[in-house]
Homo-oligomer: A and B are copies of this chain.
Amino acid sequence: MSNDSGNSGKTPRKRKDGGELDETRGVFMISVAAELAGMHPQTLRMYEARGLITPKRSPKQTRLYSQADVERLRRIQEMTTEAGLNLAGVETVLDMEEQFERMRAEMAQMRKRAEEMQREMLEQLEQARGSLRAEIVPYGAYNSELGARPVEASEPVKIPIKRRTKSPKRKRG
């Protein structure tokens, strides 16, 4: 890209001065958001009409896009330009990603409960016959058996979209 203002393209995070950046706060007017996302402003309006993105509005109805909105736009851009999805596909995939996310959370929950359960039971066992504990399969062994990969608590699920082998769409002139 060319003329963005230096800090774009980076994910939002805590600032050095310790202040919080609110990812969901509407801060960019449409022209800026479009620039950041590498899209035509009119495209953003179209996406909104299709329900793919819902920027905040100023009291005077000017659209205000958040960092999170811009991330979402970039994600949509990726799906359309690089994977060749149409907007119906984008909608579907975004929905599915949410489902993945819920499922992932459920798994993490399950794992956590299983661990708690074990701990409690081990405690009870210990209470029941303290010295016997060494003979029992230790906590760690059970835990590692509970699943192959650890489930990260924070990272959202992103489905890797296949790049098309065909010619990519033309970019905005």
Which residue in B90, B113, B120, B125 is a CB contact (below 8 Å) of A146? B113
Chain A interface size, under 10 / 10 to 19 / 20 to 34 / 35 or more: 35 or more
Count the copies: 2
A contact residues vs B (CB 8 Å cutoff): 83-86, 88-93, 95-96, 99-100, 103-104, 106-107, 109-111, 113-114, 117-118, 120-122, 124-125, 128-129, 132, 136-137, 142, 145-148, 159, 161-162, 164
A104 to B: closest C-beta gap in Å? 8
Is the beta-carbon distance between A146 and B96 smaller than 8 angstroms? no
Question: Measured between alpha carbons, how far is A90 from B162 in the docked complex, in Å?
Answer: 12
Q: Which residue of B lies closest to A142 (CB)?
A: B117
Given contacts A88-B83, A121-B125, A129-B128, contact A114 B146 (CB under 8 A): yes
